[in-house]
Amino acid sequence: MEGTTDLISTFAEFKNLKNIDKATMTGVLESVFLDQLKKMYGDTASFDIIINIDKGDFELWRKRTVAETVVDPSKEISLEDVHKIDDSFEVGEEYSERVPIESFGRRGILSIRQNLSGRIMDIEKAKLFDKYKELIGTVVVGEAYQVWKREVLVMDEAGNELSLPKSEQIPSDYFRKGDTVKAIVSSVEMRNNNTIIILSRTSPEFLEKLFEEEVPEIFDGLITIKKVVRIPGERAKVAVESYDERIDPVGACVGVKGSRIHGIVRELRNENIDVIQWTNNTELLIRRALSPAKISTVQIDDATKHVMVFLKPSEVSLAIGKGGANIRLAGQLAGYEVDVYREAEDENQEEDVLLSEFTDEIDSWIIEALEKIGCDTAKSVLALSTEDIMQRADLERETVEEVQKILRAEFE
C-alpha cells in the first residue's frame, strides 16, 4: 500500500503544480504504466489501464485468452488454471485479472515515479518552447534573478528562466538582482533537451515595440514605422509615415515637449533617437536623415548604391556625428553608402591642406581621431575651438594645442 500511496501523491503533485490538461496527463500515465507492465509480462502482453485523474487513482488489468494448450504464456492462460479461479470460462474467451501495484516491487515503483517525472518535465519543456516561440518579437518584463559577467538570468512571472546575454545588452546597461528587466524575445532554442529563451535590448525591433507601447497612433495603425536603425546606447533613427494627412507622424511620436519619446530614451539608457518622416524620395530621405546638418548638394548613384553629399565645412561635423554615428545610420536608413564632401572654397581664399599631409609631424592616431569628427583638413580643425575638439575627439588639451600650432604654421 505504501507504493500505491506514493504514486497517488506523485500524480496529485504534478496535477496541481503543473499546467497539464487531463488528456495529456492520462496519456502519459498510461504510457508509463504500459512500459513497466511490458517489462514484467513481455512485449506481446495485453492490458487495460484505467486512470481517474480527478480522484488520483488507477486500475491495471492484464488480459489473456483462455486456451486448451498454452503456446504464448504472455497472451494465453490454460483452461485448467483459469478454472481454479473461475470455472465459468471457456476456451477462446478473454480472461482479465487485476495487477496489484505491489507486484511491481519497490524498484519497479521507483522506476515508474522516475519515468513519470521525466515525461512530465519533457512536456513542460515542450510547452515552454511552444509558448515562447509564439512570443518571438514581443516585449516581456521580468526580474533579474542572477547577474553574471556574460549574461543576466531573468525570471518571468511564471518562474521561467530567460537569458539576456551581454551581447544583447545596451553597453550602459547595469542590472542588479531584483531589478526589473524589459526586453524583446529574440529567439528560442532547444539545447541538450532544455529550452533556452534569448532576450535582446539591442535589436531594432525592441525600439519599434517601445514606440508601439508609447504612441497609440502606431498601435492603432494610423502611423506606420517604416524602418528602424540604431547603434544601441548611442543613436537611433526611426522613419515613420502617416496615412492620414491630419496626423503629423513625427510630432505624434515625439509628443508634447517630448513626453512620449522621453520614456523610450530613458529605457534605452539615454540613446539619442531621431524620428524622421519617411519618403520614397531617396534624396529627401537622406537630407532628413542627416539633420541637423544643412546639405548643399546630393548626388545619387543608384547603380553602386553610393551617395555623395556636399556641405559647407561648418556643417560636416554635424552630418558625420560623434564617431561617424549619424552618417552611418543615415546610410543604413536609406540603404546607400553615404560619403561626405566639403564644398569647394572660395577662389580668393587660401588653399586648404588635407591632414594626411601632416603625417610627418602629427601622429596617425591623432589624425584618425580628428577625421572621425569630420575634420580632415587643416582649416576644418582650425575652425573649431580647442575645447570643442577635446570633447568631440576625446583628445588631451596639450595634444590639441600642439596640432593647432602645427596647422597654423602652414598658413603663416
Q: Residue 22's pLDDT is what?
A: 73
- Which of these three, 80, 107, 131, is where a domain ends? 131
Q: How far is CA 168 from CA 96, 145, 400, 407, in A?
A: 61, 17, 36, 43
We report the CATH number of the domain holding residue 387 as: 1.10.150
Residues 378 and 359 in one domain: yes
Q: How far is CA 278 from CA 242, 249, 281, in A?
A: 9, 9, 9
Sign of the dihedral defined by the CA atoms of residues 377, 379, 383, 387, in that order: positive
Residues 94 and 171 in one domain: no
Rounded to the nearest 5°, which phi and psi values hold at 301? -115, 95
Output 292 or 250, whichever has higher pLDDT: 250
Output 399 or 11, whichever has higher pLDDT: 399
Which residue shows C-alpha cell 609631424? 361
Average pLDDT of span 10-19: 56
Residues 177 and 109 in one domain: no
Percent of the chain with pLDDT over 70: 93
Q: Residue 1's pLDDT is what?
A: 41
Output 314 or 76, whichever has higher pLDDT: 76
Lowest mean pLDDT among 167-171, 197-201, 256-260: 256-260
- Closest-CA residue to 250 (of 197, 289, 308): 289
Q: Which residues are within 8 A (CB) of 96 and not within 5 positions of it... i.e. 6 or more apart?
A: 48, 61, 62, 63, 64
pLDDT tens digits along 47-101 = 888 887 777 678 889 899 999 888 888 888 998 888 988 888 889 899 988 988 8
> What mean pLDDT, rounded, does the chain reach?
87
Residues 116 and 144 in one domain: no
Residues 24 and 124 in one domain: yes
Residues 139 and 91 in one domain: no
- Which of these three, 200, 229, 256, is where a domain ends? 200
Task: Report the SS3 class of residue 55.
Answer: coil
Q: Residue 411's pLDDT is what?
A: 75
Torsion of CA 99, 102, 107, 111, to 10 degrees: 50
Average pLDDT of span 399-406: 90
Number of domains in the chain: 3
Rounded to the nearest 5°, which phi and psi values hold at 86? -150, 115
For strand 161-165 and strand 151-155, is the pairing parallel, antiparallel, or unpaired? antiparallel
Residues 122 and 141 in one domain: no
Helix axes 105-134 and 22-41, enclosed angle (nearest 10): 150
Query: And the C-alpha cell for 241?
Result: 509615415
pLDDT tens digits along 232-258 = 999 999 999 998 888 999 999 999 888
Using the predicted structure, report yes or no on whether residue 7 has a pLDDT greater than 70. no
Average pLDDT of span 155-160: 90
Q: Residue 2's pLDDT is what?
A: 46
What is the C-alpha to C-alpha distance for residues 60 and 186, in angstroms, rounded to an integer? Answer: 47
Q: Which residues are within 8 A (CB) of 182 and not within 5 positions of it... i.e. 6 or more apart?
A: 139, 140, 141, 201, 267
Q: Residue 13's pLDDT is what?
A: 59
Q: Residue 15's pLDDT is what?
A: 54
Residue 348's pLDDT band (cuts 50, 70, 90): very low
Q: Quick one: which H or E segment has residue 181?
A: strand 180-191
Percent of the chain with pLDDT over 90: 41
Using the predicted structure, report yes or no on whether residue 36 has a pLDDT greater than 90. no
Helix axes 204-214 and 259-267, enclosed angle (nearest 10): 140
- Which of these three, 159, 176, 200, is where a domain ends? 200
Rounded to the nearest 5°, which phi and psi values hold at 296? -85, -50
Using the predicted structure, report yes or no on whether residue 208 has a pLDDT greater than 90. yes
What is the C-alpha to C-alpha distance for residues 57 and 245, in angstroms, rounded to an integer? Answer: 67
Residue 32's pLDDT band (cuts 50, 70, 90): confident
Torsion of CA 243, 244, 247, 253, to 10 degrees: -30
Q: Residue 217's pLDDT is what?
A: 93
Q: Residue 347's pLDDT is what?
A: 46
Contact 116, 100 (CB under 8 A): no
We report the CATH number of the domain holding residue 185 as: 2.40.50.140
Query: And the C-alpha cell for 40?
Result: 514484467
Q: Residue 114's pLDDT is what?
A: 83
Amino acid at 397: R
What is the C-alpha to C-alpha distance for residues 17 and 324, in angstroms, rounded to an integer? Answer: 54
Residues 29 and 109 in one domain: yes
Contact 342, 289 (CB under 8 A): no
Q: Which domain holds residue 377?
A: 355-411
Q: Residue 149's pLDDT is what?
A: 92
Residue 207, domain member (yes or no) = no
Contact 376, 355 (CB under 8 A): yes
Q: Quick one: which H or E segment has residue 22?
A: helix 22-41
Amino acid at 66: V
Using the predicted structure, report yes or no on whether residue 178 has a pLDDT greater than 50. yes
What is the C-alpha to C-alpha distance for residues 289 and 202, in angstroms, rounded to an integer? Answer: 21
Q: Residue 6's pLDDT is what?
A: 56
